[in-house]
């Protein structure tokens, strides 16, 4: 029995989709389909039923899944043990954008250190273009960057961070779950600009208003923008990761603006083709939720 077929089976079930499993496994969708079909021939049964774009296990698939999961876990533990004994990497060089450094890396690195206890990690903060060039030049091993595509890189979606309007909890708009952009005309704004194309939609919302709001402060730093909102200097569109604690504590309130619905920042994890596959797979399996 081929362990790659077992892996494809477990991943398709976990992600509920052949396409998503293929993305995580760095395979094409037909390759994943072929692995599932090969496993079904070995077991002489059908493992999945297709429900539109989604899939679900058949009764035989449900019976087989716990054994497949156990086989995959045992194989991975054995592989990791042998690799650590033989060629454990002593240093991992990670590049990341400022937002990733502030809000994702502090949660992720302790998990990585726990999985690879002897690993020394060197962290570099830079803009996306610089990180891409450093990975291509082998100055960095992996990078957390804005969405990019390059023929020499593995670039996989890691996290999508919704951008919403945030106010102090005692602001008059704080009681509104959803508003239109026209309701912002008389508001004072702190404008956080991260340089991503996603922010063009926010600019477009403002430019198409008959009475644009007063943008009193521009900043390229999310922490600065957040603290200005906390100090009631204005309201601001911000990525959700940077305000999780303040929203949880009830001191900042998210508001959906109809014209800006769906705006988000995507972070990808990049590495050279064929490099860092085990570590990348571990990082992908420990995405933020």
pLDDT tens profile 76-113: 777 766 655 544 467 899 999 988 999 999 999 999 99
The answer to whether residue 73 is domain-embedded is yes
User: Domain of 23: which CATH number?
Assistant: 1.10.10.10
The answer to whether residue 99 is domain-embedded is no
The answer to whether residue 171 is domain-embedded is yes
Q: How far apart, in whole angstroms, are the C-alpha atoms of residue 124 and residue 105?
A: 11
What pLDDT is recorded for position 198? 58
Q: Is the pLDDT of residue 259 over 80?
A: yes
pLDDT tens digits, one per residue of 110-167: 999 998 888 899 999 999 999 999 999 999 999 999 888 888 899 999 999 999 999 9
Q: Is the pLDDT of residue 20 over 70?
A: yes
At residue 57 the predicted structure's pLDDT band, cuts being 50, 70 and 90, is very high
- Residues ≥6 apart with Cβ < 8 Å to 272: 135, 136, 138, 152, 153, 154
Total number of domains constituting the chain = 2
What pLDDT is recorded for position 276? 63
Beta bridge partners of 160: 266
What pLDDT is recorded for position 86? 45
Q: Is the pLDDT of residue 189 over 60?
A: yes
Average pLDDT on 259-279 reads: 84
The answer to whether residue 197 is domain-embedded is yes
Same-domain pairing of 171 and 256: yes
The answer to whether residue 277 is domain-embedded is no
What pLDDT is recorded for position 87? 47
The answer to whether residue 244 is domain-embedded is yes
The answer to whether residue 175 is domain-embedded is yes
The answer to whether residue 259 is domain-embedded is yes
- Residues ≥6 apart with Cβ < 8 Å to 229: 166, 167, 168, 190, 235, 236, 238, 252
Domain carrying residue 238: 160-265
Q: What is the pTM of this model?
A: 0.63
Percent of the chain with pLDDT over 90: 46
Average pLDDT on 10-36 reads: 89
User: Domain of 201: which CATH number?
Assistant: 3.40.190.10
Average pLDDT on 198-211 reads: 71
More reliable by pLDDT, 56 or 87: 56
What pLDDT is recorded for position 14? 86
| Domain final position from 42, 71, 86 | 86
| Domain final position from 33, 64, 86 | 86
What pLDDT is recorded for position 47? 92
Q: How far apart, in whole angstroms, are the C-alpha atoms of residue 138 and residue 271?
A: 9
pLDDT tens digits, one per residue of 58-68: 999 999 999 99
């Amino acid at each position: 029995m081929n362990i790659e077929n077992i892996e494809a089976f477990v991943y398709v079930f976990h992600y509920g989709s052949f396409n998503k499993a293929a993305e995580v496994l760095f395979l094409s969708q037909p390759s994943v389909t072929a692995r599932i079909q090969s496993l079904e021939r070995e077991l002489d049964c059908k493992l999945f039923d297709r429900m539109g774009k989604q899939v679900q296990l058949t009764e035989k698939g449900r019976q087989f899944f716990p054994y497949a999961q156990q086989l995959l876990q045992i194989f991975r533990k054995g592989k990791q043990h042998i690799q650590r004994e033989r060629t454990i990497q002593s240093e991992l060089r990670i590049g990341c954008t400022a937002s990733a450094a502030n809000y994702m890396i502090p949660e992720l690195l302790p998990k990585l250190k726990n999985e690879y206890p002897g690993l020394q990690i060197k962290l570099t903060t830079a803009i996306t273009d610089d990180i891409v060039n450093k990975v291509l030049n082998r100055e960095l091993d992996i990078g957390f960057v804005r969405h990019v595509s390059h023929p020499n890189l593995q670039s996989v979606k890691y996290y999508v961070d919704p951008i919403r309007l945030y106010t102090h909890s005692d602001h008059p708009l704080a009681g509104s779950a959803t508003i239109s952009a026209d309701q912002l005309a008389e508001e004072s704004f702190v404008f956080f600009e991260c340089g991503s194309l996603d922010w063009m939609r926010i600019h477009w919302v403002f430019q198409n208003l008959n009475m644009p709001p007063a943008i009193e402060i521009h900043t390229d730093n999310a922490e600065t923008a957040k603290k200005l909102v906390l100090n009631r200097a204005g309201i601001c569109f911000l990525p959700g990761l940077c305000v999780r604690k303040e929203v949880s504590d009830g001191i900042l309130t998210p508001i959906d603006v109809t014209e800006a619905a769906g705006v988000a920042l995507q972070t990808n994890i990049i590495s050279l083709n064929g490099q860092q596959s085990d570590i990348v797979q571990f990082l992908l399996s420990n995405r933020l939720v």
